[in-house]
């Protein structure tokens, strides 16, 4: 009996794996046409000052309008794009589009906001990333501090020497650097202190129960004081309630907040209304 069961499990497992493999292959094939067909769009989510709640910037988050499947979330195609190397082309498009958008907004009188762009490990390893960013900044007259690049801890972990020199070159261009999903990776503090970064983004898994879970509160508080001692700013991710916002801003002295409480990621034409309103009220 047990043997039979075991065998069935193996069959199910294999079937599931094959399904995943087929799906991946299909995604990869469709991704190859997505750029030419103009199927990607950047959504933008506000990042607000924790104390004044003024919008200081936005994070650009990619969306894929698949011709048959509709809106495909990034977590379903970014990993495929990374494995297949397509992330180089997609990442270059994201960078270009974010800078173009920032310069468009500037033309509309919306100034003094930054755009944060997610950079994958493949992009950071790429020999051309520094010139790519430099050219983009030049083409759209992006000033120091207007472009932020977000990398995850694990990105920074493999081949630290190369990674650190790439980050330094990017920073020399006037780009701000943020560690995304901070606290979920495995990097040591000894390593972290060597990274030329400006911002830590406290992962939303610590924010969710911050009011009720003393461990999450302790991690948040310790992260923020450590960051401040190192001269870094902290953006808390996934802020959904006033209670969480109050806790982070008033008790832990967090610098910036990002989450559904202040706005979900939205297309440029919707976010621009929010940015204009905020211009008028300040």
Q: What residues make contact with Mg ion under the rule CB under 5 A?
A: 118, 150, 180-181, 237
Tell the smallest beta-carbon distance from residue 62 to ligand C2E (Å): 4
> How far apart, in whole angstroms, are the C-alpha atoms of residue 280 and residue 265?
22
The string of DSSP letters for 13-42 reads: HHHHHHHHHHHHHHHHHHHHHHTTTT-EEE
**C-beta closer to ligand C2E: residue 75 or 190:** 75
What does 265 bind: Mg ion, ligand C2E, none (CB cut-off 5 to 8 Å by kind)? ligand C2E
Q: Which is nearer to ligand C2E, 115 or 227 (CB)?
A: 115
CB of 147 to Mg ion, least distance (A): 14
Min. distance of Cβ 9 from ligand C2E in angstroms?
32
Q: Give the footprint of ligand C2E on this chain (CB under 6 A).
A: 45, 61-62, 73-75, 78, 91, 94, 118, 120, 150, 180-181, 204, 237-240, 259-260, 265
Whichever of 2 and 91 has its CB closer to ligand C2E, that residue is 91
- Scanning the chain, the segments in alpha helix (DSSP H) are 2-34, 74-84, 87-107, 121-125, 129-139, 153-157, 160-172, 189-192, 204-207, 214-229, 242-246, 268-280
Assess contact for 272 and 105: CB atoms under 8 A: yes
Nearest to 130 by CA among 105, 147, 115, 111: 147
Backbone angles phi, psi at 177, to 5 degrees: -120, 135
Shortest distance in whole angstroms from residue 109 CB to ligand C2E: 26
Which residue is listed with tokens 């990017």?
A: 170
Residue 142 is given by DSSP the state: P
3-state SS track over 50-90: CCCCCEEEEEEEEEEEECCCEEECHHHHHHHHHHHCCHHHH
Instruction: Pick between residue 95 and residue 137 the one whose CB is nearest to ligand C2E.
Output: 95
Closest CB to ligand C2E: residue number:
259
Please, how many CA atoms are within 13 Å of residue 15, restricted to the half-sphere of its CB?
Answer: 6
For residue 81, the minimal CB distance to ligand C2E (Å) is 8
Nearest CB to Mg ion, comparing residues 86 and 199: 199
Q: Which is nearer to Mg ion, 88 or 181 (CB)?
A: 181
> How far is Cα 239 from Cα 234, in angstroms, rounded to an integer?
13
Q: Which tokens go with 268?
A: 């440029």
Q: Which does 65 bind (CB under 5 to 8 A by kind): Mg ion, ligand C2E, none?
A: none
CB of 262: closest distance to ligand C2E in angstroms? Answer: 9
């Amino acid at each position: 009996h047990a043997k039979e069961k075991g065998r069935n499990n193996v069959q199910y497992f294999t079937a599931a794996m094959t399904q995943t493999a087929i799906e991946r292959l299909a995604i990869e094939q469709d991704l190859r046409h997505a750029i030419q067909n103009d199927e990607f769009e950047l959504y933008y989510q506000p990042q607000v000052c924790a104390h004044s709640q003024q919008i200081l910037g936005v994070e650009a988050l990619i969306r894929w309008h698949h011709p048959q499947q509709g809106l495909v979330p990034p977590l379903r195609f970014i990993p495929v794009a990374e494995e297949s190397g397509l992330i180089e082309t997609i990442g270059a498009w994201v960078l270009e589009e974010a800078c173009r958008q920032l310069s468009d907004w500037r033309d509309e009188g919306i100034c003094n906001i930054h755009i944060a762009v997610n950079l994958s490990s493949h992009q950071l390893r790429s020999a051309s990333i520094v010139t790519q960013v430099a050219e983009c900044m030049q083409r759209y007259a992006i000033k120091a501090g207007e472009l932020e690049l977000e990398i995850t801890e694990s990105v920074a972990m493999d081949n630290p020497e190369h990674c650190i020199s790439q980050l330094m070159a990017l920073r020399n261009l006037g780009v701000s650097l943020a560690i995304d999903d901070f606290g979920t990776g495995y990097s040591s503090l000894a390593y972290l202190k060597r990274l030329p970064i400006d911002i830590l983004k406290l992962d939303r898994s610590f924010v969710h129960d911050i009011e009720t879970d003393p461990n999450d509160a302790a991690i948040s508080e310790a992260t923020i004081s450590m960051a401040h001692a190192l001269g870094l700013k902290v953006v808390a991710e996934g802020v959904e309630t006033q209670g969480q916002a109050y806790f982070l801003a008033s008790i832990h002295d967090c610098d910036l907040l990002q989450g559904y409480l202040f706005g979900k990621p939205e297309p440029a034409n919707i976010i621009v209304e929010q940015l204009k309103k905020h211009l008028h009220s300040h």
